[in-house]
Chains A and B, each alone.
Chain A
Amino acid sequence: MESVIFYIFAAILLFAATMVITVRNPVRAALFLVLAFFTSAGIWLMLEAEFLAISLVLVYVGAVLVLFLFVVMMLDIDLAPLKEGFTRYLPLGIIVAALIVVEMIAVLNAPQFDISAAQATDGSNTKMLGRLLYTVYVYPFEIASVILTVAIVAAITLTLREHHRKLQDPAKQVMVKSADRLRMVDLRSKKQDGEGSES
């Protein structure tokens, strides 16, 4: 039963990942990426990596993909010039893909990724993560919050524009007095003083 569910999830994941790179419309590709993330979260859940699964859904599907969609829509992509250099970039693309395959094989064969060692630990690995992260690795954990704060400042500095903000303050509108709008000038008294040359 478990392996049947795994194969269903794996089939959906492979289908979605293939669609991400073959579909022409970038918005559809981003939506297929959502499907791929969901199904890989399901597979991670079956591997008892609950925290990774929930953070994949929460962070990637919830936030990063929204950002992807905004970027795709913001770039205003014209599809015709994108298809032109396909044969020109093909050798470079094949080299990069081959390098990634070699790296993946090297990493997955490493003894640190032995799955039997991970399953031998009893209890949830979210608990083990928490036990280490907030005690032994508390210093990198605080650094992470500093990095996030820097990211807030950087995002605001890069994108916030104040010059085209037209705001009405209702309190100021209500509290205005006639003296703020109108200035009474007595012209005749000036003439009597002999300074009436300015007509």
Chain B
Amino acid sequence: MLENYLPILLFIIIGIGFGVLPLLAGFVLGPRHPDSEKRSAYECGFEPFEDAHMKFDVRYYLVAILFIIFDLEIAFLFPWAIVLDEIGVFGLLAMFLFLGILVVGFIYEWKKGALEWE
């Protein structure tokens, strides 16, 4: 059972290696002579006058929360897809009702203009 996940584990390890090794090589091999001017933030030649932390528009939050809702909907589809041949027409209709109710919400958000980004 668990042996089936060995390729995924190898994939993760090799992926991490691909990401980390070049950074490490640059860190170890590259010449570094830092001073205070090099390390300070550069802002078009004059003194930086603002913190880089700034407030985001609340509309990003709206997009993120709508994404979460449809993400949860997808999470319900996985076990349904696995057992579809066992639960038959009843399961199919149950999922259609589930998706139908969410399509109502989707139409609402579309008509309301929540998906528009000027």
Q: Is the CB of B65 within 8 A of A151?
A: yes
The listed residue (A64, A134, A135, A160) touching B113 by CB distance below 8 A is: A160
Query: How far apart are the CA atoms of A155 and B108 in the complex, in Å?
Result: 12
Q: Which of B35-65 contact A (CB under 8 A)?
A: 53-56, 58-62, 64-65
Q: Is the CB of B82 within 8 A of A124?
A: yes
Query: How far apart are the CA atoms of A191 and B95 in the complex, in Å?
Result: 76
The listed residue (A46, A55, A59, A66) touching B64 by CB distance below 8 A is: A66
Interface residue A107 (Cβ < 8 Å from any Cβ of B):
no
Interface residue A144 (Cβ < 8 Å from any Cβ of B):
yes
Q: From DSSP, what is the main secondary structure of chain A's interface residues?
A: helix
A-B contact count (CB 8 A): 146
Q: Is the CB of A160 within 8 A of B112?
A: yes
Q: Is the CB of B64 within 8 A of A70?
A: yes
Q: Is the CB of B62 within 8 A of A159?
A: yes
Q: Is the CB of A130 within 8 A of B82?
A: yes
Shortest distance in angstroms between B69's beta carbon and chain A's nearest beta carbon? 5
- CB within 8 Å for A135 and B87 given contacts A59-B75, A73-B53: yes
Q: Which of B71-95 contact A (CB under 8 A)?
A: 71-76, 78-80, 82-83, 86-87, 90-91, 94-95
Shortest distance in angstroms between B93's beta carbon and chain A's nearest beta carbon? 9
Q: Which of B1-54 contact A (CB under 8 A)?
A: 1-2, 5, 9, 53-54
Which of chain A's residues have a CB closer than 8 A to the CB of B65? 67, 151, 155, 159
Shortest distance in angstroms between B56's beta carbon and chain A's nearest beta carbon? 5
Q: From DSSP, what is the main secondary structure of chain B's interface residues?
A: helix
Which of chain A's residues have a CB closer than 8 A to the CB of B113? 160, 162, 165
Shortest distance in angstroms between A126's beta carbon and chain B's nearest beta carbon? 5
Query: How far apart are the CA atoms of A153 and B102 in the complex, in Å?
Result: 11
Chain A residue, CB-CB nearest to B101: A145
Which of chain A's residues have a CB closer than 8 A to the CB of B118? 165-167
Q: Which of A60-75 contact B (CB under 8 A)?
A: 62-64, 66-67, 70-71, 73-74
Q: Is the CB of A59 within 8 A of B71?
A: yes
Q: Is the CB of B79 within 8 A of A160?
A: no
Which of chain A's residues have a CB closer than 8 A to the CB of B59? 159-160
Q: A58-B74, A74-B61, A156-B112 are in contact. List 9 more A-B contacts (CB 8 A).
A: A58-B71, A73-B53, A74-B56, A126-B78, A130-B79, A133-B76, A142-B94, A149-B101, A159-B61
